[in-house]
Structure 1
Amino acid sequence: MTDHVILGKGQIGSTVASILASRGERVRVLSRSGGPEQAGIEHVKVDARDAAALTAATKGADVIYNCANPAGYHQWADEWPPMFAAILAAAKAHGAGLVNTGNLYVYGPVTAPMTERTPLNSPGHKGQIRIKMWNDAMALHAAGDLRFTEARGSDYFGPGALADAMLGERVMRPVIEGKGVTVFGDLDAPHTFTYIPDVARALIRLGGDDRAWGRPWHVPSAPARSQREMIQEAARLLGRGPVRVSRLPWWVLINVVGAFAPAMKGMAETRHQWDGPYLMESHDFTDTFGDKATDTATALGETLDWWRARLA
């Protein structure tokens, strides 16, 4: 039986754990706060920035899935370097495969659909942090010290995605409550969104297939839709007519909201993702492994079901 260790118990890590546990696999979830035992899932409290503690907690791991993330953008510079160095050290110590949950920040502003061959040219601070993580891991992979791969998705949405997701609480709650929705960026620019259960399934697929190692993969994602289209589709699924959608100016988000929520200031670096078309292709994954994205209507329907249960 494969020993799976998951770092982080957020929406992605928890979904990975649930899927693996349902298959009867051995599953450990490591996080700073730990958690109560669940059927088939062991929770362990550990600070992932502590290399010695993390190496001890991951002993016996065959595959490590890094689904952890600092709480806010403003913490990336301080927390990611020691955390990822500790993760690499743990995977190397145990000879475990390491599957990293990535994103598209590494590419920076682009004018064409992103593929796994798009250059890593991000000029932004957060993108540069992610590029260094990728390069450090791939150097160890090339040296034969560990097996590494990364699953990259666009903006995540789905069950469990709360305030930090573009299609999280700021959209789902008002749509369910029959109110207007306020978002930022171009309301009608096509945008790739990636469904959280598809991310989890992709991570698991990569961790169990030797064809995955040594390169990045884009998570299967449905055809791009604009923010307005996603919001109106959600309203349609609820049996409602069109929802009023308005745009929040960037200066309000960064300067006003950012004064109370420091993480929002970090959105300035990624505004290119929302001010025009932002497209990601995932043909490589589907052509290689056969997995396809969940269709948008199904994904939004399951997301709305989760939110209605939460709000009830």
Structure 2
Amino acid sequence: MLDGYSNKQVLITGGLGFIGSSLARKLVALGAKVTLVDSLIPQYGGNPFNINDILDQVLVNVCDVRDPFAIAYLLRDKDYLFNLAGQTSHLDSMADPQTDLDINAQAQLSLLEACRKVNTDLKIVFASTRQIYGKPDYLPVDEKHPIRPVDVNGINKLAGEWYHLLYNNVYGIRACALRLTNTYGPGMRVKDARQTFLGIWVRLLIEGKPIKVFGDGMQLRDFNYIDDCVDALLLAGASDDSNGKVYNLGSNEVISLKELAGLMVSLESGGAFELIPFPPERKAIDIGDYYSDFSLISRELGWQPRIGLRDGLTRTLAYYRAHHRQYWDETS
């Protein structure tokens, strides 16, 4: 099914970020003609080193998704849009809600309006988040679970998701959304916790510092290695069965954060972890236990996660041991 990407024009917003660059690498291998858009605003995760191995096989346009004229120009001849650009930090969304609104909601509406005006034939896959569910009523969480975001980021990501579904339903612009859960792997932001807590855990381990686990560490989570996330994005883009739908991603492996820290320590000699009290600003938006029911995307698109947690973490730690200078300033 993925053979259909060969010689197709593909635009990836957030293309120099973690997921966008990994997706670009796979699309290049499939024979697609890939254009990457990224603002390279420092706090949002874009890193040119992420595409170092495919730099001469993609086009890169440095611009902001909030620039409607640039985006409209870039959309004109595209067959696929993987819309991954976004502000991902939950704490930043609470400290600066207006910027989060501008990027995760307003810019999404502007982008879809550009599609309506210049290219109604492309297929869009939007990267949404499990954060929109809030604190679960039941586990595992399926797509019918009530939606109750606990922070500004969740509300704005939900708006962005629903704009895509609306334009699918009203204007026939084929679009779907994947609700991602804790994606990790080579290329993720590790200099701080803006993208995922797992990133800063990797950095601390490699620096020989203890991982800091909030609370009692018994919170349950599921994780997807980047290759599995990319496979889901590509399957969703290639199938018209996904049009107008949302899908959870997830894993059959569910683990407490304390167990996860122990696993990571076992993979990095000299590592350690410690339990620390929840910072008040994080406790206020913590969702407790969360793991997904991803049976809908398995049933309809045939997606299954393939990379186990131990294997994925081993690959991730090896990558950052080799390339850490490209991802954080060791003097900071």
Q: Say yes or no: does 1:84 pair with 2:108.
A: yes
Q: Counterpart of 2:197 in structure 1: which amino acid?
A: M
Match of 2:329 in 1: none
Match of 1:16 in 2: 23
How many residue pairs were aligned? Answer: 293
TM-score by length of 1: 0.85
Match of 1:223 in 2: 253
Q: CA deviation at 1:167?
A: 0.6
Match of 1:263 in 2: none
Q: Counterpart of 1:167 in structure 2: which amino acid?
A: L
Q: Is the 8 A contact 2:215 2:275 kept in 1?
A: no
Matches within 5 A, 1:47-196: 47-70=64-87, 72-73=92-93, 74=96, 75-92=99-116, 93-95=118-120, 96-112=122-138, 113-122=140-149, 124-161=151-188, 162=190, 163=192, 164=194, 165-169=196-200, 171-196=201-226
Match of 1:261 in 2: none
Separation in structure 1 between the aligned mates of residue 20 and residue 175 of structure 2, nearest angstrom: 18
Q: Which runs of 5+ in 1 are unaligned?
A: 255-266
Q: CA 1:242 to 1:29, structure 2 compared with 1: closer, same or farther past 3 Å?
A: closer
Q: Say yes or no: does 1:3 pair with 2:27.
A: no
Separation in structure 2 between the aligned mates of residue 82 and residue 50 of structure 1, nearest angstrom: 11
Q: Counterpart of 2:273 in structure 1: which amino acid?
A: R
TM-score by length of 2: 0.80
RMSD of the alignment, in Å? Answer: 2.3
Taking every aligned residue pair, what percent have the same amino acid on both sides?
23
Separation in structure 2 between the aligned mates of residue 219 and residue 193 of structure 1, nearest angstrom: 9
Q: Is the 8 A contact 2:128 2:158 kept in 1?
A: no
Q: Is the 8 A contact 1:12 1:197 kept in 2?
A: no
Q: Is the 8 A contact 2:250 2:291 kept in 1?
A: no
Secondary structure of residue in 1 paired with 2:126 = strand
Q: Is the 8 A contact 1:102 1:150 kept in 2?
A: yes
Match of 2:308 in 1: 295
User: Which structure 1 residue ranges, 4+ long, deviate > 6 Å from structure 2?
Assistant: 34-37
Q: CA deviation at 1:241?
A: 7.6
Separation in structure 2 between the aligned mates of residue 142 and residue 99 of structure 1, nearest angstrom: 15
Match of 1:29 in 2: 36
Q: CA 1:174 to 1:140, structure 2 compared with 1: closer, same or farther past 3 Å?
A: closer
Q: Is the 8 A contact 2:132 2:149 kept in 1?
A: yes
Separation in structure 1 between the aligned mates of residue 221 and residue 161 of structure 2, nearest angstrom: 24
Match of 1:284 in 2: 296
Separation in structure 2 between the aligned mates of residue 107 and residue 236 of structure 1, nearest angstrom: 32
Separation in structure 2 between the aligned mates of residue 190 and residue 241 of structure 1, nearest angstrom: 25
